[in-house]
Structures are given as C-alpha cells and as structure tokens.
C-alpha cells in the first residue's frame, strides 16, 4: 500500500538514492539494513513524505504523498526520526500529547479519546512513571521511548522508525521489538524500521531490504537476505550464518568470523551475537 | 511487553499552583497600576485618584494629570509590555532559540531607521527646500512610519530566508545581519545629519513613554487584539513548531506556512509597540524566560497556554514597574523606560536562572 516507484534523490547533485522501487506490504514488519551512509534514513524519509524524490513518486493507497493533506497523512503514517529534538522544559506527557495533533482542529482541546491514546502509548513504552518529568531529565533510552510513544499516540496504521533501538539497553531493545511485533499481530500495524543489528532484523521482521550506496542489494525474507555472500557484500566482513530457532520459527543468525583466531562459533552455543 | 507499570497513574496536572501564581501576579499588576496613578512628580493620594477617575469632566489639575498623563501612559506601558512579551514568546518558539527576541527579525532596526530618516528628511525639506525658519513635524505620524519600517525590514529578512523554508538558523542569521546594517545606518544618519533632531532621535531610540497619550493607545489596540487572539489560536501550532521541523512535519503540520503566520503575528505585535514607544530593551527576551522560570519553580511544566498567560501578566508588570521608576527615580527628570527595562530585567533573569540550576 505504501509504494516508492523508481525514486531517485540527490543532495546537492550527489545521488543518494538511485532508481529505487519498493512496495511495503500491509501488516508486515520490514527492516531496512545497510552500512552507514547507504541511504537508509533517506529512503525512510521519502516513504514518510518528509522529502520529495528528485525523480519518481511515492504513493500511499495509490495516491501520491504530496497530494495527501498533511494531517490526513499523519493519521495514516507516523515517522520517528533518527535524532529528533524537543525544547527544554517539555514534559514527557506533553510530548506524547503532540502525537494527537493530527486529530485536533483549531479550537478543540485534547478529548477523552486523545487522553486515552496518550496513556496507552505511555503504558506501552513503560513511561507512565516518568510522564510528568521534563524530557531533559530522562536518560537517552527513556527519551527515545518517549519519542516512540509520541509516534504511537498518533495511532497510525503505518509506523516508520529510524533506528528505534539505538539508545536502548539490551532488555529494552528486545521489549521494544517485541512490542512492535505485538502491534503488528494485534493491531494490524505495518512497520518499516531501520535497524543496524542484522540478527534483530532477522528475528523480528518478515522482510529485509538491504541497501548499499543508495541501491537495493537484496530484498526478501530474512532467509533470502541474511546470507554469507550478501553480508560480505554489504559490510565487507566474513560471517557464518547458522539457523536459529525462535519459538516456532527458524531464522538465520549471523556471526562474524574472527579472522585472527579462525574460530567459527558453534551454532548451539553462540559465543557472541553479531552487533553490526 | 512488561506490564509492571500497567497500574494507571492518574495524570497530576495540579491546576491550583498555577491559579495561585496567576492571582498573585494579577494582584501585583493591580497594585503597580494604582501606584503608577499615584506616584510622580506631583504625588496624588488614593482618594484624589479615585475622585478624578469618577469625575466626568476634567476640572482640577489632579484630574488633568491623571487623564492626560498618567492613565494613558500607564495603560500604554502595560499594553506595550504585553506586545513585546508575546512577540518574544512566539519568536523563541519559532526560531527555537532562547536568545530570540523581536530585534532578531530586524524590527527594531527597521523602525528606527524609518523614524530617523523621516525626521531628517522632514527637517531638510522644510529648512532647505521650503526655506522655513522653523521645522515643524507632526509626531502623530511617527508610529505609522515606524510600523512601516519594522515590517519592511522583517519582510526583507523573511525574503532572504524564504528559499530555506524559513529555517530558524537562517532566519536568525539574516535577521542579525540586517539588524546590524540597519542600526549602523541609523547611527550614521544621526551623526552625519542629526542637527537639532539628534536629541529627539536618541530619546526615541532609547525607548520611552514620555508624552504618550490616548491617541497612541488607540493606534495600538487593534494590533493588541490581533496579536493576543492570534497568539492564543496559534498556541498548539507553536508547540509543534518547537519540535524540530521533521517531527513537526510528520505530525501533519505545514511547517513553512505556520512559521510564516507565527512570524507575522510576532512582527505585528513587536513593530506596532516599537512604533509607539521605541524599542524597550530586552522585554521580549526576558519575560518569556521569567515566565518559564516562574512556572518551573512552582513545579509546573512549560505548557504554552500557561506560559502565554504568565507572559501577559509579567510583561505588563515589568514594563509598568520600569515606567514608574523612569518617572520617579530622578523626578522631575526622566530616565528612558527602555534603559530601565534592561536594567531591571537582566538581574531578575540572571537571578532566576541561577536559582533554577
Ligand atoms: N541533508 C543532507 N544534505 C546532504 N547530504 C545528505 C543529507 N542527508 C544525507 N545526506 C547524504 O546522503 C547519504 C545517505 O544518508 P542517510 O542519512 O540516508 O544514511 P543512513 O543509511 O541513514 O546512514 P546511518 O546508518 O549513518 O544513519 C550520506 O552520504 C549523507 O552524506
Ligand atoms: Mg540513518
């Protein structure tokens, strides 16, 4: 339903994305992976309508994004940037409340439904106890969750998230990804996220898009994308890929090969997870 | 997900500290206003003030002082304070910089240059071209001219920043640059051709309420209405504009449009006030910070509706207090009110900031 059709984008004549087409499927979790500067954030912003492609078009439900009224689009699609900024003194709950902006007219204030959505978002991100704290008193991870809560409060069908796990500790990383999974299953959300950890992408997404130098290197299920050749092509490192069971499903797990000691980790006892 | 915080903590937006704060400030403002009517080179008692206010016709010298001088001047001081404070609040939100104030868009520079050039041109035409012995100038026109100058200068700043989507940094840089050029031109014009207008120009530049009456107040009130109502309607958009522009855009805000609308309201407030009193230094910069610090001390978040009310009350109070001081400290002489707003405002601000951290 969200579609980029042969889009290219240049920053000051420097091509960042070239002739790229993706179609995001409804109710799927799609992960975008790739090295730094490969154009992941740029692609996400294009999909979210934050920037216009130099060529090609992005459309949602067959209608080009620029034809959507901004507020109508914001009800369909929420985007959480890589490093958003808020003014000092803003409370967590106020920030999350801004997620309701697309639902408000010029004159009305937050209704019961809005408050409900805000509280729900705060609860899902485990921030209820911090809701009356100014944002600047929060830790990096808590702040990141506050911004996620704002995006959740938008209650849009599509969530576009740029590195949502960056500042989070391991526990919160998994809780967040688990929350996204729940939202996908129980609330029929469509999620597109940029992730750096290939194994998290593999474990939690239905589809992985691998970018390098603004071009799609691979696009498919984790099994299709997380292979030794593609990882080598993307990040120029040697890995060994082993199957790993997560509950009922089996997903590829990739482990870097230590070239000095030539130890290939055993799949049964993974010594190190590859945080790429 | 871990549901350990699922127990619903009710939102404690304690309303009463804010209302208490509001009452205290209102009481302060009313006392200041009464003081402003009583105090001056001719002290009036409360009773005299009351009698004069009740009188329908101006009969006594007391009622003359009150109706012709103190009442319009004090009301004007408060209104102008509100103008600068709200303009500062809006600009700090839109420009996303705590140091933003009306001068950052070239309002002061434009208004000053227009005034000075106008004074000089009228003198020149009358003395040299018409060969009149004594130059005459109708001061009623000054506010309109200043407004025009302020709006033109801001227009230029906006024009220069237009291609960059009115980005805050661009606005601030262009504004500071244009402002510096305009101020340099003002000084040059005064020094080179000031002649017998040097004093008038300098007094206006220092920001003063001397000799202002109801006609200036009437000139200002339509802008007050536009500004206050506009600001109030704008609060939610301003709150979103405070976030960075990408976040604002993803929330469905047309960022460029609302930046422009907000800037227009801020400029209307600042330029019209500057037109009447000259630039009152730092009111627009200090009052929003003062309001924020006050709210923070009472454990309240910086919600914009609260901030707006605080700005209105404390902006009016600060300017009125400065004006009382300007009339009374070295009475019968006057210190320009603009000088005093700066001298009073900065220490208050520094104190609050120190306390806060
Ligand atoms: N506003 C901009 N102006 C100019 N060039 C830009 C701009 N934003 C991004 N670029 C360039 O576009 C390329 C892709 O940037 P992008 O932010 O999409 O990378 P990314 O894949 O998200 O990287 P990272 O993993 O570091 O977040 C980079 O080479 C970057 O230098
Ligand atoms: Mg990025």
Do A34 and A134 reside in the same domain of the chain? Answer: no
CA of B30 to the centre of ligand 1 (A): 56
Contact of B140 with B128, CB cutoff 8 Å: no
Please, what sign has the CA dihedral across residues B126, B115, B147, B179?
Answer: positive
Do A118 and A17 reside in the same domain of the chain? Answer: no
Q: Which residues in chain A are contacts of B15 at CB distance < 8 A?
A: none
Contact of B283 with B318, CB cutoff 8 Å: yes
pLDDT in the model for residue A263? 53
- Residue A273 reports pLDDT greater than 60: no
Q: Is residue A178 part of a domain?
A: yes
CB-CB neighbours of A166 under 10 Å: 15
Do A216 and A262 reside in the same domain of the chain? Answer: yes
Rg (CA), chain B: 22
Q: Is residue A29 part of a domain?
A: yes
pLDDT in the model for residue B185? 92
Distance CA B325, CA A22 (A): 68
Do A268 and A136 reside in the same domain of the chain? Answer: no
The helix, strand and coil proportions of chain A, stated in percent and rounded to the nearest 5, come to 35, 30, 35
Q: Is residue A41 part of a domain?
A: yes
Q: Is residue A81 part of a domain?
A: no
Do A241 and A164 reside in the same domain of the chain? Answer: yes
The whole-number average pLDDT for the span A27-51 is 95
Distance CA A122, CA A216 (A): 36
pLDDT < 70: residue spans in chain B: 1-14, 56-59, 132-140, 194, 355-357
Q: Which among B96, B100, B252 is the top mutation candidate for probing chain A, defined by the most A β-carbons within 10 Å of its own β-carbon?
A: B252
The whole-number average pLDDT for the span A14-34 is 94
pTM listed for this prediction: 0.86
Q: Residue A74 to residues A82, B4, B94, B258: CA-CA distances in angstroms?
A: 18, 31, 21, 16
Q: Is residue A75 part of a domain?
A: no
Is B252–A99 a contact, with Cβ atoms under 8 angstroms apart?
no
Q: Is residue A74 part of a domain?
A: no
The 3-state DSSP class for residue A86 equals coil
- Does residue B2 sit at the A interface (CB-CB below 8 Å)? yes
Do A53 and A171 reside in the same domain of the chain? Answer: yes
Strands, sheet with A158-162, edge to edge from the N-terminal-most edge strand: A77-80, A158-162, A190-194, A29-33, A207-212, A215-220
Is A128–B11 a contact, with Cβ atoms under 8 angstroms apart?
no
pLDDT in the model for residue B3? 35
Task: State the count of interchain CB pairs (< 8 A) between A and B.
Answer: 104
Is B254–A70 a contact, with Cβ atoms under 8 angstroms apart?
yes
- Does residue B296 sit at the A interface (CB-CB below 8 Å)? yes
pLDDT in the model for residue B58? 66
Closest CA to B98 of A94, A86, A87: A87
Ligand 1: which of A20, A37, A47, A198 to mutate, judged by most atoms within 8 Å of the beta carbon? A37
Ligand nearest to the CA of A39: 1
The whole-number average pLDDT for the span A201-221 is 95
Query: What secondary structure does DSSP assign to B180-207, as a single string?
Result: HHHHHHHHHHHHHH-GGGHHHHHHHHH-
A101-111 tens-digit pLDDT: 999 887 778 88
pLDDT in the model for residue A264? 54
pLDDT in the model for residue B230? 94
pLDDT in the model for residue B212? 79
Is A101–B12 a contact, with Cβ atoms under 8 angstroms apart?
no
Q: Is residue A229 part of a domain?
A: yes
Do A63 and A163 reside in the same domain of the chain? Answer: yes
Q: How far away is chain B from the Cα of A195, in angstroms, using its nearest Cα? A: 20
Ligand 1: which of A17, A41, A50, A80 to mutate, judged by most atoms within 8 Å of the beta carbon? A41
Which of B96, B252, B296 lies nearest to residue A101, judging by beta carbons? B252
Q: Is residue A59 part of a domain?
A: yes
Contact of B270 with B84, CB cutoff 8 Å: yes
Ligand nearest to the CA of A13: 1
CATH of the domain at A53: 3.40.50.300
Residue whose CA lies nearest to ligand 1 atom number 19: A37
Q: Which among B163, B239, B251 is the top mutation candidate for probing chain A, defined by the most A β-carbons within 10 Å of its own β-carbon?
A: B251
pLDDT band at A7 (very low <50, low <70, confident <90, very high): very high
Backbone angles phi, psi at B29, to 5 degrees: -65, -45
Q: In CATH, which superfamily holds the domain spanning B15-356?
A: ABC transporter involved in vitamin B12 uptake, BtuC (1.10.3470.10)
pLDDT in the model for residue A266? 54
Backbone angles phi, psi at A159, to 5 degrees: -120, 125
Is A102–B252 a contact, with Cβ atoms under 8 angstroms apart?
yes
pLDDT band at A276 (very low <50, low <70, confident <90, very high): very low
Q: Which residues in chain A are contacts of B251 at CB distance < 8 A?
A: 74, 98-99, 101-102, 154
CB-CB neighbours of B277 under 10 Å: 30
The residues with which A10 forms a beta bridge, in sequence order, are: A15
- Residue A253 reports pLDDT greater than 90: yes
Record the tokens describing residue B81, joined without a space: 């304070």
Do A264 and A237 reside in the same domain of the chain? Answer: yes
Residue whose CA lies nearest to ligand 1 atom number 18: A39
* More confident: B218 or A195: A195
By the CB criterion, residues less than 5 angstroms from ion ligand 2 are A 41, 82
The whole-number average pLDDT for the span A78-94 is 88
pLDDT band at A262 (very low <50, low <70, confident <90, very high): low
Do A60 and A172 reside in the same domain of the chain? Answer: yes
Percent of chain A past pLDDT 70, that is, above it, reads 93
Do A171 and A266 reside in the same domain of the chain? Answer: yes
Record the tokens describing residue B27, joined without a space: 């009481």
Q: Residue A174: which residues within 8 A CB-CB, separation 6 or more?
A: none
Q: How far away is chain A from the Cα of B3, in angstroms, using its nearest Cα? A: 8
Length in residues, chain B: 357
Do A96 and A201 reside in the same domain of the chain? Answer: no
pLDDT in the model for residue B8? 33
Domain that holds residue A48: 2-68+157-275
B169-206 tens-digit pLDDT: 888 889 889 999 998 998 888 888 767 777 777 777 87
Ligand 1: which of A16, A34, A54, A194 to mutate, judged by most atoms within 8 Å of the beta carbon? A16
pLDDT in the model for residue B7? 32
The atom number, within ligand 1, closest to the CA of A211 reads 21
Record the tokens describing residue A57, joined without a space: 């078009």
pLDDT in the model for residue A80? 94
pLDDT in the model for residue A183? 92
Q: Residue A84 to residues A97, A140, A144, B192: CA-CA distances in angstroms?
A: 16, 12, 9, 50
CA of A50 to the centre of ligand 2 (A): 14
What residues are in contact with ligand 1 under a 6 Å CB criterion?
A: A 11-12, 16, 34, 36-42, 82
How many domains does chain A divide into?
2
* More confident: A126 or B302: A126
ipTM of the complex: 0.85
Ligand nearest to the CA of A213: 1
Do A110 and A7 reside in the same domain of the chain? Answer: no
Which of A102, A123, A134 lies nearest to residue B301, judging by beta carbons? A134
Domain termination site, one of A111, A139, A154: A154
Which of A87, A89, A127 lies nearest to residue B96, judging by beta carbons? A87
B207-218 tens-digit pLDDT: 777 777 888 888
């Amino acid at each position: 339903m969200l579609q980029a059709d042969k889009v290219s984008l240049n920053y000051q004549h420097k091509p960042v994305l070239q002739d790229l087409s993706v179609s995001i499927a409804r109710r799927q979790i799609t992960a975008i992976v790739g090295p730094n500067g490969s154009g992941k954030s740029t692609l996400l912003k294009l999909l979210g309508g934050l920037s216009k492609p130099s060529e090609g078009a992005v459309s949602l439900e067959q209608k080009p994004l620029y034809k959507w009224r901004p507020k109508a689009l914001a009800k369909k699609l929420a985007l959480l940037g890589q490093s958003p900024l808020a003014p000092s003194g803003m409370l967590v709950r106020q920030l999350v409340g801004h997620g309701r902006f697309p639902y408000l007219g010029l004159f009305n204030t937050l209704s019961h439904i809005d408050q409900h959505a805000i509280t729900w978002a705060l609860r899902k991100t485990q921030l209820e106890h911090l809701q009356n704290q100014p944002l600047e008193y929060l830790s990096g991870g808590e702040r990141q969750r506050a911004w996620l809560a704002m995006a959740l409060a938008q209650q849009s069908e599509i969530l576009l998230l740029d590195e949502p796990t960056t500042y989070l500790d391991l526990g919160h990383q998994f809780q967040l990804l688990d929350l996204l999974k729940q939202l996908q299953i129980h609330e029929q959300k469509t999620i597109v996220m940029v992730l750096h950890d290939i194994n998290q992408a593999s474990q939690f997404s239905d589809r992985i898009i691998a970018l390098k130098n603004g071009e799609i290197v691979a696009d498919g299920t984790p099994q299709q994308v997380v292979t030794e050749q593609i990882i080598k092509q993307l990040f120029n490192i040697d890995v060994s890929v082993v199957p790993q069971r997560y509950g009922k499903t089996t997903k590829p797990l990739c482990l870097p090969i230590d070239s000095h000691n030539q130890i290939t980790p055993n799949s049964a006892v993974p010594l190190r997870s590859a945080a790429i | 997900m871990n549901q350990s915080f699922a127990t619903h903590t009710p939102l404690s937006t304690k309303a009463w500290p804010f209302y208490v704060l509001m009452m205290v400030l209102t009481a302060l403002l009313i006392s200041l206003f009464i003081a402003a009517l009583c105090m001056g080179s001719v002290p009036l008692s409360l009773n005299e003030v009351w009698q004069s206010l009740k009188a329908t016709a101006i009969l006594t010298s007391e009622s003359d002082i009150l109706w012709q001088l103190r009442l319009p001047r004090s009301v004007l001081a408060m209104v102008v304070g509100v103008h600068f404070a709200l303009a500062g609040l809006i600009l700090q939100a839109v420009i996303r910089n705590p140091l933003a104030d009306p001068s950052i868009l070239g309002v002061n520079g434009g208004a000053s240059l227009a005034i000075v050039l106008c004074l000089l041109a009228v003198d020149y035409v009358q003395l040299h071209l018409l060969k009149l012995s004594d130059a005459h100038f109708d001061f009623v026109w000054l506010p309109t001219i200043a407004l025009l100058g302020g709006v033109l200068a801001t227009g230029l700043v906006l024009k220069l920043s237009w291609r960059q989507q009115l980005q805050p940094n661009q606005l601030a840089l262009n504004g500071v640059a244009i402002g510096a050029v305009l101020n340099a031109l003002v000084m040059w014009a005064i020094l080179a051709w000031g002649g017998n207008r040097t004093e008038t120009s300098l007094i206006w530049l220092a920001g003063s309420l001397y000799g202002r009456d109801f006609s200036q107040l009437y000139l200002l009130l339509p802008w007050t209405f536009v500004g206050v109502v506009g600001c109030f309607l704008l609060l939610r958009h301003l709150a979103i504009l405070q976030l960075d522009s990408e976040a604002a855009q993803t929330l469905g805000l047309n960022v460029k449009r609302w930046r422009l609308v907000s800037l227009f309201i801020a400029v209307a407030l600042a330029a019209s006030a500057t037109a009447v009193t000259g630039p009152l230094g730092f009111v627009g910069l200090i009052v929003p910070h003062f309001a924020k610090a006050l709210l923070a001390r009472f454990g309240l978040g910086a919600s914009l509706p609260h901030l707006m009310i605080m700005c209105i009350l404390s902006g009016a109070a600060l300017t009125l207090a400065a004006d009382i001081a300007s009339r009374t400290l070295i009475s019968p002489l006057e210190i320009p009110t603009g000088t005093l707003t700066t001298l009073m405002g900065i220490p208050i601000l520094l104190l609050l900031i120190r306390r806060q951290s």
